[in-house]
Structure 1
Amino acid sequence: MSSLVAYDDSESEEEPSPQVDGGAAATFHTDPAGFSSPNLTPSHSGSLSKQTTIEHHRWVTEQSSSSSLVHPKHEHWDTEYYSERKDRHFTDSSAAIGFPANQRKTGPVQPPLCLPKCVTDASNPAKRQHSAMSGIRPYIPKRQRLIQSEEADGTQNPSEQVSGNQTRKGPVLTDVSSRVKHYLGEKTQAAGVPRKLLMSLEGHQGPVNTVQWCPVPHISHLLLSASMDKTFKVWDGAESGRCLRLYTCHSGAVRDACWTPCGQQLLTGSFDNTAVITDVETGQPTVKVDNQFKVMCVAVHPSSPDVFLCGGYSSVVKAWDSRCCKAVKAYKAAIQQTLDILFLSGGSDFITSSDCVSRDSADRTLIAWDYHSTAKISNQIYHERYTCPSLALHPLEESFVGQTNGNYIALFSSQMPYRMNKRRRFDGHKVEGYAVQCDFSMDGSILASGSSTGTAHFYDYQSTRVLHALQAHRQPCLSVSQHPVLPATAATCDWAGEIKIWN
């Protein structure tokens, strides 16, 4: 049987596209699957071939709004028909892409994707680009997406919340904040009391136990935070509020963290029984020691930075030498755990705070040790039945303070016999069992403390009166750190994992 449909075998490459005129005119219709279908409109009588009849029936059916399905009688032939056309005309396999199913009815009609050369030249890249399907987004490389994300984050207002996941890849110690640089050449100003929120840093998924500014003046814009989510971070706390480095050296909660005197390393203690010294720039641990107990507090020797102390859920405080990674000294006492460690001026003596609160525990709450001989110098320092979760040393005078669970801060002399000043105490805040920390300003004129009520209290050191009570957080405020260079600037953290910068 002869067919009225002619394919490539009977067409010439020089022939123009078929036009509709009298007689048997062939026009191409693009179906929703992206293929062209010939539609023959005969002007003479005669029987059409099987292929022509079914193709015309399919086109009429799809144009009808009542149904878009091929008659089941012709479903098998329809598959063979398109398979045959694919073998003949699909010279470029990558162009044989159909529209999604949800666009077959309502989607716009697109130009034919793969037709004989008389209709579309598939070898022409310009025409292939013109016939590209709508709704398909071009691929964007991952590196370009990261750059676009950082540029979008850079336009964010620094006074708003800053996510801690936006970790910047770049140098940390080489950058100097312009805001801090402005105060480096000037005479040290009197410390002030912060009163307004500068920025809020969010990124930790657990309580933040401590925050601490870098002690080196020219990089004092760096802020260290340690959290119960097993991580500790370094932030730009002066300008952008961006998280500069995320450190994941521990498998347990990070209970305490501090800077080394050079500002290039971090010392952390964790509930995974380890203490780690980490390089700030690379983020790689340089020293890692196992204490065989949960570490709650760490302290670097002020005159020998290679030596650090670790205390925690043990009756022993260990001294480690980072050069050989060995415990060089051990300080034993009849206690169950050590809450905090504080080196006094010079580093020849240090104070430890324990959790002893029994009837005869007055001789074990605060203990003064000789660093070199590991002997107890004094154990009759604090005679009240309250634990001291944190200690702080005055930067100029021979004194230190102890945060107590009696909802006040006690003042002690740092010279033997380390007596408590019963006439001066700083009260007004609440502790209520939290490890609330306190901190002195660089000139020693202001003592700051957190509170279980979420407030940050600022006391005048000489008069012990409250200068200002800042409602910083909704959850208990665990730490307040005053900036060593910028006046009236402080960082606070709370039990919910939030960090705020105040000015």
Structure 2
Amino acid sequence: MSSLVAYDNSDSEDDSSDQQEKRLSPAQTAPFEQNQSPNAPMLPDPPTSAMDQMVSGYHGDTLSNYHPQSQSLSQSDWRSFSRRQEKVVMDCTSPSMTHWNIPSVQTPPCIQKSFSLVSNSTKRLQNVPSDVRPYISKRRRLSTSVETEQKDDPSEPDHGSQSREAPILSNVPSKLAPYLGQKPRAAKIPRRLLMSLGGHKGPVNTVQWSPVPQFSHLLLSASMDKTFKVWDGAASGRCLRVYTCHSGAVRDACWTPCGQQLLTASFDNTAAITDVETGQQTVKLNNEFKVMCVALHPSNPSVVLCGGYSSAVKAWDSRSCKVMKVYKAGVQQTLDILFLRGGEDFITSSDCVSRDSADRTLIAWDYQTTAVLSNQIYNERYTCPSLALHPLEDTFVAQTNGNYMALFSTQRPYRMNKRRRFEGHKVEGYAVQCEFSLDGALLVSGSSTGSAYFYDFHNARLLHTLQAHSQPCLCVSQHPVLPATAATCDWAGEIKIWH
């Protein structure tokens, strides 16, 4: 009487249905058409069967609305009917339909052909090569986009994206918290490797800890790979932010006094101030020359000095992005800029070297009048790639390519102390930086041999040599809060934390 019919997208069933269609005569199909013959299988009374509801389509069209002898349909009717039959096939082959007791119904030929077309199109889609993208209907594309939005719903957080977007200026690591309320301890020399950070693809020119005590676990690095990064250098060692604001190598970088912005100098002829959290450039200063060094005015952080491949040093107002002052000298390149205490004077280091002396290698400037105060500070025939100011005393040091650090007075006429110099390391043309500890007791320097050198400032005695890298060590930065903690970087792009 009635049998369970399972619809499958298979060739065997399509062939059997075609053979059954050939055996049917008009006399046999007429009772189905009128649903009045006692020999024809009867459909249940309303409510109609599930099969009838599925085949009914969008507007309640039953199978009897299509005459079996009408083998051709109009183009619009055929398209709408094909869409309906595709839904019928998908519903009939779903697992939820396997337990329904559906009476066997003789399907009209036009319906059988539509089933066969849908089945063949499904098989063709399965055999499509991987490099050919099949057509996807608009309805299915919309449903896919809705599913994607639901997966990306912020109510179901993704731990990976959460770590990338987490604020970096809000949480104080537990390792740093015990030292925040205490007085700064005496500087000590680090002895062992704490962690190694290898995220840069080019030489790292400088590393610097954040000057704000509660954010001093953040470590800034600037590299020749056109990026500068902020790391968690005290706890996890993770890279918290990568900044790609420059199109050229980043030659110099430093924190602003508030610890929420970064000042960078690049070979793309610009200096920029970037927000630490968002990574957006708030200020961009176009100097029209490759910028090698930048410095912030100590009492007015909105003033930025930029020097580089030019005979002039420019002073910018970062609020209006306009040049305030220009300091001109007969040099080809400015290597470093150092503001003296109070910000009334500053020192520039240049590459101007004559045969017998380094005339104009170090130049003292009056910030207000742009006048040269002295250009006879250092009279030896070595250039000075970096300068460092003592945090307590009226002195500063200059790293020289003579493989020693020279000591100078910050008071006019800025005389050099010839009885005290810090030597034993090699520079050999690299831009090796030097730095004082927070209490001024230690003076540290990198070297072209990859070692970090720790000197006693008061007697110029070498205290310890730390073999940090196999490539030239360009910078050593001591932590302002954690005792005996320092960061080093090298020419190969590696950063290491020592304790």
| Aligned 1:65-76 pairs, distance under 5 A | none
| Residues 1:213 and 2:201 are matched in the alignment | no
Give 1:304's aligned amino acid: N
Kindly indicate whether the alpha-carbon contact (under 8 Å) linking 1:459 and 1:465 is maintained by their aligned counterparts in 2.
Answer: yes
Q: Which amino acid aligns with 2:386?
A: S
Runs of 5+ unmatched residues, structure 1: 1-9, 18-27, 39-47, 53-86, 97-112, 122-137, 152-166
The 5-angstrom pairing of residues 162-241 of structure 1 reads 168-241=164-237
Equivalent of 1:12, from 3, 13, 17? 3
Question: 2:262 matched to which residue of 1?
Answer: 266
Distance (whole Å) between structure 1 residues aligned to residue 97 and residue 436 of structure 2 = 84
Does the aligned pair in 2 maintain the 1:362–1:384 contact within 8 Å?
A: yes
The alpha-carbon deviation at position 348 of structure 1 amounts to 0.4
Cα shift at 1:381: 1.0
Look up the match of 2:466: 470
Which of 291, 305, 309 is matched with 2:301 structurally? 305
- 1:223-282 CA-to-partner distances (Å, cap 9, x unmatched) read 111111111111111111122222122111111011111212111111011111112222
Measure, in 1, the Cα distance between the counterparts of 2:388 and 2:319.
28
SS in 2 for 1:304: coil
1:356 and 2:366 matched: no
- Separation in 2 of the partners of 1:93 and 1:403? 78
* Displacement over 4 Å in runs of 4+: 34-38, 48-52, 87-90, 113-121, 138-146, 148-151
Question: Residue deviations 1:180-200, cap 9 Å, x none?
Answer: 221111122111011111111
**What is aligned with 2:117?**
none
SS in 1 for 2:158: helix
Q: Which residue matches 2:399?
A: 403
Q: Deviation of residue 363 (structure 1)?
A: 2.3
Q: Secondary structure at the match of 1:218?
A: helix
Tell me by how many angstroms 1:202 deviates. Answer: 2.0
The aligned runs of 1:110-129 (5 Å cut-off) are 117=98
CA distance, structure 2, for counterparts of residue 202 and residue 429 of structure 1: 25
1:101 counterpart residue number: none
TM-score normalised by the chain length of structure 1: 0.71
Matches within 5 A, 1:312-391: 312-359=308-355, 362-391=358-387
Paired AA for residue 364 in structure 1: R
Amino acid in structure 2 at the alignment position of 1:12: S
Q: Give the CA deviation at 1:425.
A: 1.3
8 Å Cα contact 2:358-2:382 kept in structure 1: no
- Judging changes above 3 Å, is the alpha-carbon distance between structure 1 residues 323 and 117 closer, same or farther for their aligned structure 2 residues? closer
| CA deviation vs aligned residue, 1:100-150 (integer Å, no higher than 9, x gap) | xxxxxxxxxxxxx889957999xxxxxxxxxxxxxxxx9994679983547
Partner of residue 58, structure 1 = none
Tell me, in whole angstroms, the C-alpha distance in 1 between the residues paired with 2:191 and 2:273: 35
Partner amino acid for 2:3?
A: S
Q: What SS class does the counterpart of residue 430 from structure 1 fall into?
A: coil
Contact 1:168/1:242 (CA < 8 Å) preserved in 2? no
Q: Which moved more, 1:308-317 or 1:172-181?
A: 172-181
Deviations 1:393-449 (A, max 9, x none): 010111111111111111111111111111211112111111011111100111111
In the alignment, what sits opposite 2:158? 147
Deviation at 1:169, TM superposition (A): 0.9
SS at match of 1:168: helix
C-alpha distance 499-90 of structure 1, shift in aligned 2 (>3 A) = same
The Cα offsets for residues 42-71 of structure 1, whole Å up to 9 and x where unpaired, read as: xxxxxx99989xxxxxxxxxxxxxxxxxxx
Counterparts of 2:231 and 2:322 in 1: how far apart (Å)?
Answer: 31
Contact 2:358-2:383 at 8 Å conserved across structures = no
**Paired positions, count:** 392
Q: Distance in 2 between matches of 1:424 and 1:147?
A: 58
SS in 2 for 1:341: strand
Q: Distance in 2 between matches of 1:374 and 1:384?
A: 25
Partner of 2:243: 247
Deviation of the 1:305 alpha carbon: 0.8
Tell me the CA shift for residue 481 of structure 1. 0.5
Q: Percent identity?
A: 70
Out of 282, 286, 292, the residue aligned to residue 288 of structure 2 is 292
CA distance in 2, matches of 1:433, 1:479: 14
Larger relative helix fraction = 2
2 CA distance for matches of 1:427 and 1:360?
Answer: 21
Decide which moves more: 386-395 or 203-212. 203-212
What RMSD in Å do the two structures reach over aligned CA positions?
3.3
Letter in 2 for 1:496: A
> What's the counterpart of residue 252 of structure 2?
256
